[in-house]
Amino acid sequence: MPEQIPAAHERKAISLFQGDIVRRALLDSLKKLDPRVQVRNPVMFVVEICSVITTVTWLIQAFGGKPLGGGSEPAWYTFVIAVWLWLTVIFANMAEAFAEGRGRAQADTLRSMRKDTVAQMRDGSSKAAAELTRGDIVVVPAGELIPGDGTVIEGIATVDESAITGESAPVIRESGGDRSAVTGGTRVTSDRIEVEITQEPGHSFLDRMIALVEGAERRKTPNEVALNILLAALTLIFMIVVVTLRPFGLFAGTSISETTLIALLVALIPTTIGALLSAIGIAGMDRLVRRNVLALSGRAVEASGDVDVLLLDKTGTITIGNRLASEFIPMPGVAESELAEVAQLASLADETPEGRSIVVLAKQYGIREHDMASIQAEFVPFTAQTRMSGVDYDGHQLRKGAGDSIVDMVIREGGAAPPELQQQLDRIGREGGTPLAVSRDTQIVGVVYLKDTIKEGMKARFDQLRAMGIKTVMVTGDNRLTAAKIAEESGVDDFLSEATPERKLALIREQQADGRLVAMTGDGTNDAPALAQADVGVAMNTGTQAAREAGNMVDLDSNPTKLIEIVEVGKQLLITRGALTTFSIANDVAKYFAILPAVFIGTYAVGGAGSGSKGPLHVLNVMGLGSPRSAIVSAIIFNAIVIPLLIPLSLRGVRYRPIGASALLRRNLLIYGLGGIIAPFIGIKLIDLIVHNLLGA
């Protein structure tokens, strides 16, 4: 019996405040106080240095010494500031630890699947799964775990992939075609397959997945680097402001203690975004994982927010994918039943839904079912080059396929296409259907009308994408007319008809040359070059190993519509960064109004700075804060606790609305800009009410 492996769906349920995650996060946030960790985040590193200096000052004061840098602040004040500065750093660490914690819980689940199995080699020997290398060929019978990632080279089997995808229904994996990839750690539930291993030891899909969700391979994305530089520059500006404030104060007869200057510095530098920045990045990856998408780099997530062009496969994405035969249209001189019979025979070996639907439709014409084996027909499979399939039966070549391919073949063989054919092909194409021409030797006997159904809600989805500024291009093997009809019905912006892998690649290159970022999904081996070329290439997990390696994301659900969600996650990630940066900077206004009047309350007072009377600048205490010390302490407390308060937002992400860039900017400026100016006035005032009472001063 297979072990009880938690399915991926359960991963979605991992809550932010699950007990052990919280414990681990708390512990980690203390471990991260290590300056070697902190130095990677310039803003928080400055806060940590400030915490150390304040703590040293307090220790000196506690042992009866004079505080560093003068001033007459009591020891308890220095202590309170020191504590809250340390808390600021710890809160920042906690944000990161929480984000990592969720990923780590998922990694643990995955790790439990990585069993040390013994692989059975084709030559009969056996080898430990961990030692398998590229090129090894293993045999996996029903009931066994597949020992490593690979490609099925022989056989067909059902495989339970629920451990990775969360989908409980087993999937079919077979040699050849686009469903040949198998993942190590999944289980064969029926039949027996031979698998050629495509991974090196320790680099399996599962290993990569674990590393990714754990954040072990996390590197700063380009935009994160740029934002960090901006934050460092702002930190530098405020250091200049604070350092020069001491001589300014002295000139005005006011000695500002070093603890207060440090408090001012920490309040002004963008600690909020500095603390949450890496958590936002990790959470972005995490949100994708919860949608069952594995991004192979943070860069890819970021890029997905920038996507300008989306290439969508028509089949399965825009249409339901099962084009069903609905009508037989014979050519002049051919009976409808004759056409039905030829079409049926040509489709006998065709296991695609289209092929089966022809057989089903033919039954209605009273054509009895033939059995391939009993009639000794030779199957001619579909290839991308011939673009037709059929059987050689009883000395006849029976073929069905794309109109132009059949016509070409017939003409090549010395036949001719009836003039009615083109009319019918065009008509069906115009109506959004797919015509299949059917031929017997050099005679075209008729056309099968395949109807394609567009998925519900696609038009709304495309409108949404258009509002996001993303152009959608439908990619289809259909001819121009058919493609145009479906494009029009579904509301897609553009289409690429009669697509071949080369044309797909060329289209991507062309868009990129114009400076556009292209995203696409794909599964087949011949999609691999295009997937590699696209800026965001989402490979379907059901696809071939080549496709999975070419893309920079893997969709475990193999759902082509997922691309839209991926783009949203990318955008959310960037918006959250921008919004919290704006919020962080806007906060400074209130902090100035809290701290500066407190610092300069006695400056230029009528009786002199030391007289205890208030100077002219006390009128700037617009919040009516209790006392200078409670004002400064309240500002620092606000600065610290805003970080944990915003952790949920940074992990969840600011919601993205497809309302156009200008409206979105207006909205976010209002919420995070204006809100960022107003919120701390209220927050600091409320904290001061408590602090001032506690201090009793």
Partner 1 sequence: MTFAGWLTIVLFVGMLSALAFPLGTYMAKVYSGERVFLTPVFGWPERFIYKLLRVDSRREQDWKAYARSLLIFSLAGWLLLYLVLRTQDAFFVPHSVNPQGFESAPWNVTFNTVSSFVTNTNWQFYSGETTMSYLSQMIGLTVQNWLSAGVGIVVAVALVRGIVSRSGKSLGNFWQDIVRTILYVLAPISIIGAIVLVSQGVIANFSNYLTVHTVTGLTQTIAMGPTASQLSIKMLGTNGGGFFNVNSAHPFENPTGFTNFFEMLLVLIIPAALVFMFGRMTGNRRQGYAIYGTMMLMFLGAVVVAYVAEAHGSPAQHAAGLHTHAIAGSTGGNLEGKEQRFGIAGSALFDVVTTVTSCGAVNSAIESFTGIGGAVPFANLSASEVIFGGVGTGLYSILLYVLLAVFIGGLMVGRTPEWLGKKLEAREIKLAGLGILITPLAALFATALAVATKGGRASISELGKGPQGFSESFYAYLSQANNNGSAFAGYTGFIQPNAGNAGSHGVTFADVLGGLVMLFARYGPILFALAVAGALAGKRITPVGLGTMRTDNPTFAVLLIGVVILVGALTFFPALLLGPVVQGLTGHLY
Binding to partner 1 in span 606-665, by CB under 8 A: 606, 615-617, 619-620, 656, 660-662, 664-665
- Per rule CB under 8 A, count of chain residues that contact partner 1: 76
Contact of 590 with 655, CB cutoff 8 Å: no
Give the active site residue among 149, 160, 306, 313.
313
Residue whose CB is less far from partner 1, 578 or 644: 578
Strand order in the sheet with 192-197: 126-128, 118-121, 137-141, 192-197, 150-154, 181-182
* Beta pairing partners, 262: none
Binding mask 543-562 for partner 1 (x = CB under 8 A): --------------------
- Encoding tokens for residue 119? 């692989």
CB closer to partner 1, 385 vs 662: 662
Q: Which of 207, 210, 181, 199 is nearest to 132 (CA)?
A: 199
Q: Which residue, 659 or 697, is less far from partner 1 as judged by CB? A: 659
Closer residue to partner 1 (CB): 641 or 669: 669
Q: Single out the residue of 283, 318, 445, 470 in contact with partner 1 (rule: CB under 8 A).
A: 470
Environment class of 125 (CB within 10 Å of its CB; exposed 0-12, middle 13-18, buried 19+) = exposed
Closer by beta carbon to partner 1, 448 or else 590 = 590
Residue numbers 16-55 binding partner 1 by CB under 8 A: none
The stretch near partner 1 (CB under 8 A) out of 24-32, 334-342, 537-545, 592-600 is: 592-600
Q: Of all residues in the chain, what percent are helix, strand and coil, respectively (each to 5)? A: 55, 15, 30
Total residues belonging to the chain: 697
Question: Rounded to the nearest whole angstrom, what is the least distance from the CB of residue 575 to partner 1 in the complex?
Answer: 5
Interacting residue with partner 1 among 461, 485, 571, 692 (CB under 8 A) = 571
Interhelix angle for 562-599 vs 661-668, to 10°? 30
Going by C-alpha positions, the residue among 220, 275, 273 that lies closest to residue 97 is: 275
Residue carrying structure tokens 């040390």 = 116
Burial-class residue 185 by CB neighbours within 10 Å (0-12, 13-18, 19+).
Answer: buried
C-alpha distance across the termini of the chain, in Å: 71
Q: Pick one of 501, 578, 644, 675: the residue that binds partner 1 (CB under 8 A).
A: 578
Q: Specify whether 313 is catalytic.
A: yes
471 binds partner 1 (CB under 8 A): yes
Cα 460 to Cα 257, 377, 451, 455, 520: the distances in Å are 61, 47, 22, 11, 20
In angstroms, what is the minimal distance from the CB of 251 to partner 1?
4
Q: Backbone phi, then psi, for 538, in 5-degree steps?
A: -100, 115
Q: Which listed range, 12-20, 145-153, 410-418, 564-572, lies at the site for partner 1 (CB under 8 A)?
A: 564-572
Beta carbon nearer to partner 1, 243 or 697? 243
Question: Least distance in Å: CB of 504 to partner 1?
Answer: 21
Binds partner 1 by CB under 8 A, chosen from 172, 216, 230, 645:
230
Give me the least distance between CB of 464 and partner 1, in Å please: 11
Q: Judged by CB under 8 A, which of 614, 673, 689, 695 binds partner 1? A: 673
How far is residue 268's CA from residue 239's CA, in Å, rounded to a whole number?
9
**Of 554, 552, 518, which Cα lies nearest the Cα of 532?**
552
- List the one residue out of 564, 42, 88, 105 whose CA is nearest residue 278: 42
Is residue 240 at the binding interface for partner 1, with CB under 8 A as the rule? yes
Query: Which residues within the stretch 198-227 sit at the binding site for partner 1 (CB under 8 A)?
Result: 222-223, 225-227
User: Whose CA is closest to 354, among 343, 365, 363, 364?
Assistant: 343
Question: Segment 511-530, which members bind partner 1 (CB under 8 A)?
Answer: 514-517
205 or 672: CB nearest partner 1: 672
Question: Which residues, in sequence order, are bridge partners of residue 120?
Answer: 126, 139
Gap between the Cα atoms of 653 and 644, Å rounded:
14
Handedness of CA 438, 439, 440, 445 (dihedral sign): positive
Cα gap 93→33, rounded to integer Å: 8
**Could you say whether residue 697 binds partner 1 (CB under 8 A)?**
no
Q: Considering the complex, what minimum distance in angstroms separates the CB of residue 576 from partner 1? A: 9
Least distance CB 220 / partner 1 (angstroms): 10
Three-class secondary structure of residue 306 per DSSP: coil
Nearer to partner 1, 342 or 470 (CB): 470
Q: Which stretch binds partner 1 (CB under 8 A): 87-95, 329-337, 494-502, 668-676?
A: 668-676
Among positions 369-428, residues that touch partner 1 (CB under 8 A) are: none
* Residue closer to partner 1, measured from CB, 7 or 596: 596
Pairing of strands 518-522, 536-540: parallel
Give the separation between CA 113 and CA 206, rounded to whole angstroms.
9
Span near partner 1 by CB under 8 A; candidates 113-121, 137-145, 522-530, 567-575: 567-575
- Shortest distance (Å) from residue 497 CB to partner 1: 24
Restricting to residues 248-307, name those near partner 1 by CB under 8 A. 248-252, 268, 302-303, 305-306
Residue tagged 């690979």 (tokens): 150
Q: Distances from the Cα of 666 to the Cαs of 174, 577, 674, in angstroms? A: 53, 16, 11
- 442-461 binders of partner 1 (CB under 8 A): none
Alpha helices in 348-500 (DSSP H): 353-363, 372-375, 403-412, 419-430, 458-467, 480-490
> Residue 17 or 251: which CB sits closer to partner 1?
251
Among 582, 621, 630, 639, binds partner 1 (CB under 8 A): 582
C-beta of 247: minimal distance to partner 1 in Å?
4
Please identify which residue in 572, 621, 630, 650 interacts with partner 1, judged by CB under 8 A: 572
Would you name the residues annotated as active-site residues? 313
